[in-house]
Amino acid sequence: MQSRMIDMEVNTTLVQCYPAHEALPDGDGPFPAVILIHGAFGLNDEARLAGTRLAREGFYVLAPDFYASPVSYAAVAPDFMRVPTGGGIDYADEDTATMRAEGVSDERAGAILRQAIGYVGTRSHAQAGGVSVVGFSTGGRWALFAACTQPDEVNACVAFYPAGIMARGRTRVSLLDRLDAIRCPVLLFYGALDSVVPAHERDALRAGLARLGGKVDLQVFRGAGHDFFAPDRDSYDISSSRAAWSAMLALLKNGRP
């Protein structure tokens, strides 16, 4: 298994525009492609570990950093471009994580997702014909957003406790208004004790996705809260995370929830 940080903009050398974590199995492939989207705490060890685990299961995995801005160490680069951005945020700093997550607009997320899908299309190790998207918490929102806005490119969507799907504002619209565009199978995981995603938001998403018919599976784990899949958090629930992992692999490998 191989993993590394890359730039999804292959036409630049002096500026890092779209950093991402890439993980892939040993061998020539091509392997089915997964775009993995981190949660509010950024592209941290948890997100990279999830990508590595998927690579060990036989997938090409690309995890973009949604918080990164262009960085350059070229002699002519202005000072503000010399400061690295993105990466992970400490779990104790929830205010910063929330601020960064809410600061990603639909326009910015769409640009990153298009760049990621385009980059995957250039990789010989990745199978042609679309990608699967997997997201956690706020990344679950962006996974659903990708399925809504890139229906011809997204083959499957997995969202762990997606947060903020009903958010409306100057830079975002509610995903409930876009669900009819989804064409792929959708798999959703929630904890029954989730204090971040209210039950009415989960129920509204369930009702909206019901129009898609049998392509949707929404699972609620009793005794689990938000971030039940995060092994480094007190919220981690081993039985729920194992069940969700198995269900996710079944979808990604077989194409149905």
CATH of the domain at 85: 3.40.50.1820
Peptide bond before 257: cis, by omega within 30 degrees of 0? no
Number of folded domains that form the chain: 1
* 152-210 per-position pLDDT tens digit: 999 999 999 999 998 777 788 899 999 999 999 999 999 999 999 999 999 999 999 99
* 1-39 per-position pLDDT tens digit: 888 888 877 665 555 567 899 999 999 889 999 999 999
pTM: 0.91
At 209, list the tokens. 């996705």
For residue 143, give the 3-state DSSP assignment: helix
Number of H helices, E strands in the chain: 6, 10
Q: How many CB atoms lie within 10 A of CB 164?
A: 20
What DSSP assignment string belongs to 52-106? Answer: HHHHHTT-EEEEE-TT---EE-STTS-GGGGS---SB--TT-HHHHHHHHHT--H
SS3 content of the chain, % helix, strand, coil (to 5): 35, 20, 45
| Residue 110 parent element (H or E) | helix 106-120
What domain range is 162 assigned to?
Answer: 2-254
